[in-house]
Amino acid sequence: MNAEFVKSAILPKDYPQHNLPEIAFLGRSNVGKSSVINALLNRKSLVKTGKTPGKTRLINFFDIEKTFFFVDLPGYGYAKVSKKEKESWSKNIYTYLSQREQLKLCVLILDIRRIPSNDDISVINMLYELNKDTLFLLNKSDKLSNNEIYKQVKIICDAVGVSKENIVIFSALKKRGIDETWTKIKEILF
């Protein structure tokens, strides 16, 4: 898939100007957000992985085939970040989510092995409050057996109050869930 980095921004005045739909990716630091984006685009390293967790506060915009945009929002929940930095993160994300008219779909990435953290729940509440269409990708499924996957899906669905239609069992490493994710994205966008 043809994907091109367009720019990084923090404030709305610096967001790129265009009229295409945007899909925003959210997740706690180290959940595999960059790996998921690369896997969906079948790119090895469009987005850097495993680098300086929690350090990037920038919103990165990627043009996909001149048809829509992927928006990589900064990862949250990194323990070594100060309270002040966390607040500015929340504010910048909230501004993007609440003001960006082009935003059509949010993709929230969770670690299938974990119960959603308080930070995850805050973000999910923000998305519900703003009435955003949200798709949940349960990443790192390669780390669990089928039996464990089944149990975790139920636990996570209950914890975040989402139905199974809005989740995809994913593995960026093993490339699981890619076609299903694209089908769901296209259902919502087009």
User: Which residues of the chain form contacts with ligand GDP (CB under 6 A)?
Assistant: 27, 29-35, 49-50, 53, 75, 139-140, 142-143, 171-173
Find the shortest distance in angstroms from Cβ 156 to ligand GDP.
15
Query: 60 touches which of ligand GDP, Mg ion, none (CB within 5 to 8 A by kind)?
Result: none
Find the shortest distance in angstroms from Cβ 95 to ligand GDP.
21
3-state secondary structure 137-186: EEECHHHCCHHHHHHHHHHHHHHHCCCHHHEEECECCCCECHHHHHHHHH
- Give whichever of 34 and 171 is closer to Mg ion, judged by the CB atom: 34
Q: What is the CA radius of gyration of the chain?
A: 16
Query: 181 touches which of ligand GDP, Mg ion, none (CB within 5 to 8 A by kind)?
Result: none
Q: What is the H or E stretch that residue 23 is in?
A: strand 22-27
- The closest residue (CB) to Mg ion is 34
Strand partners, 61: 7, 71
Q: Which residue has the tokens 């506060």?
A: 57
Task: Give the orientation angle of helix 33-41 with respect to helix 178-189, to 10 degrees.
Answer: 80
- Give whichever of 18 and 143 is closer to ligand GDP, judged by the CB atom: 143
Query: 92 touches which of ligand GDP, Mg ion, none (CB within 5 to 8 A by kind)?
Result: none
CB atoms within 10 A of CB 147: 8
Binding Mg ion (rule: CB under 5 A), the pick from 34, 60, 139, 181 is 34
- Give whichever of 20 and 58 is closer to ligand GDP, judged by the CB atom: 58
35 binds Mg ion (CB under 5 A): no
- Give whichever of 29 and 152 is closer to ligand GDP, judged by the CB atom: 29
At 70, is the secondary structure helix, strand, or coil?
strand
- Give whichever of 53 and 149 is closer to Mg ion, judged by the CB atom: 53
At 10, is the secondary structure helix, strand, or coil?
coil
The residues of the shown chain that bind Mg ion, judged by CB under 5 A, are: 34
